[in-house]
Amino acid sequence: MRSIPLLLPLVALSLVYGAALVPRDTTSSSSAADPIPTVPYASTTSNSVLWGPDSPDSVPNPYRGKTGASILGPDNIPIDLENPDLLAPPSTDNGDVANSKWPFSMSHMRLQTGGWARQQNVEMFPIATSMAGVDMRLEPGAIRELHWHSTAEWAYVLKGTTQVTSVDQDGRNFIATVRPGDLWYFPPGIPHSLQATNESAEGSEFLLVFPDGAFSDDGTFLLTDWLAHVPAEVIRKNFGITNPEAFSRIPNKQLYIFPSTPPADDADDVSDPQGTIPQPFFFPFSQMAPTQLEGGSVKIADSTVFDVAKKIAVAEVEVEAGGMREMHWHPTQDEWTFVLEGEARITVFAANSNARTFNFQAGDIGFIPASYGHYVENTGNGTLKYLEVFNSDRFQDVSLNQWLALTPPALVQAHLGLDDETISLLKKVKPTVVGPLPGSK
């Protein structure tokens, strides 16, 4: 009878930890310890997205289950509709994670005759310390003037076609026409130009990424800007030109973007006694066949296929409705994410119980620091298509599913309490993109 009081504390603890706790059998010859929970089990309550940007007649409020209350004061409902997991966070969110989303729609537009540009850097998106982005539009024939940067320039063409030209440090030239879904890359300090062709009546639009979060396109080295700030006699001496009027029409300030005549299809390339650049600054990414996966597809362009791209790598990912880019992380590379179409949500895990969920629509930028665990879930009704851009010459990721599948089962069971059947379903080959669960909508 004296043993009964000793069991009462154990029964009470079982109510807290959700599992029966029993005294350990110290007489057993087995070396394995009985499974005794040391912390409560994680909740299995659903934390699905509660609404979307197109939810009809929806007035969102910060409720999740039995927690929360309505908003009584002023509120920006359109923003709430686009960010359901900020207004009503999943119960699994915890602690503090820096804002990991920036809509390009919030960036200031620089309007020019012939086009426009808008940028994102650490000034408006502090977490993005290693990469910055520029969205640029050129009307047919418009030129992004001859220029160079102190950092590399990587580009993905969104719409239309763009003619790019360049000359490297050895005097070798390069010219190419880059089409939607294709890439270009210019190493640091290499001068180049960008000009929209007239293949489309709309001209072109392209996404630029620079491997420096503090980069500003306003700090570009521009041809006209430099010459406008050099004495005229020095310019003539440099080029060996005696005619005092030869350089009299140099603009007195930078042109940046300006209208011009579209490049002619039959124009001859400039002959170069040094030859042309041996490693092309252009890659036909649109022609690469994607790897088909259970829940979508992926294709990757890094220095293994695009030799010159030493500072930027990219994965173009498509996720079918109901699918997701699996839970993973990138060992040493930050990820700069850009949504091309569809809707998504990403939970960023920053260690030490810090996790936060963000929602994305087309035109939004995400940033995930190296080693932060995350997934990308398609929360829309159509295909999600987005770019994963990395400040590296190689694409690398670690799959949670594969890691567990290739770890001794007893270790995984000791951590997660999985049964043998569940262990057997883990994937030893990276799923990368998974489809919806059977029977789910």
Residues annotated as catalytic (active site), given as ranges: 388
DSSP H/E element including 236: helix 232-239
Contact 94, 355 (CB under 8 A): yes
- The pair phi, psi for residue 306, each rounded to 5°, is -115, 85
Q: Which of 335, 331, 338, 392 is nearest to 363 (CA)?
A: 338
What single-letter DSSP state applies at residue 268? P
Q: DSSP assignment, residue 33?
A: P
- Which residue shows structure tokens 């060996």? 240
Is 285 exposed, middle or buried (CB count within 10 Å of its CB: 0-12, 13-18, 19+)? Answer: buried
Q: Looking up tokens 């920053």, which residue turns up? A: 350
- CA–CA dist 120, 122 (Å, integer): 7
419 - beta bridge partners? none
CB 91 within 8 Å of CB 65: yes
Instruction: Write out the E strands in 25-84.
Output: 63-64, 67-68
Query: Which conformational region is residue 55 in: left (phi greater than 0), alpha (psi within -120 to 50 degrees), or beta?
Result: beta
Q: Which two tokens stand for residue 5?
A: 């009081």
Residue 403: Cβ-neighbour burial (10 angstroms; 0-12, 13-18, 19+): middle
| Helical (H) or strand (E) element with 234 | helix 232-239
Beta bridge partners of 205: 137, 159
Angle at 61 between CA 56 and CA 64, to 5 degrees: 110
Cα–Cα distance, 53 to 221 (Å, whole number): 41
Residue whose pair of structure tokens reads 């005794």 in the numeric block:
36
DSSP state of 287: G
Contact 151, 269 (CB under 8 A): no
Q: How many CB atoms lie within 10 A of CB 21?
A: 18
How far apart are alpha carbons 246 and 237 in whole angstroms?
12
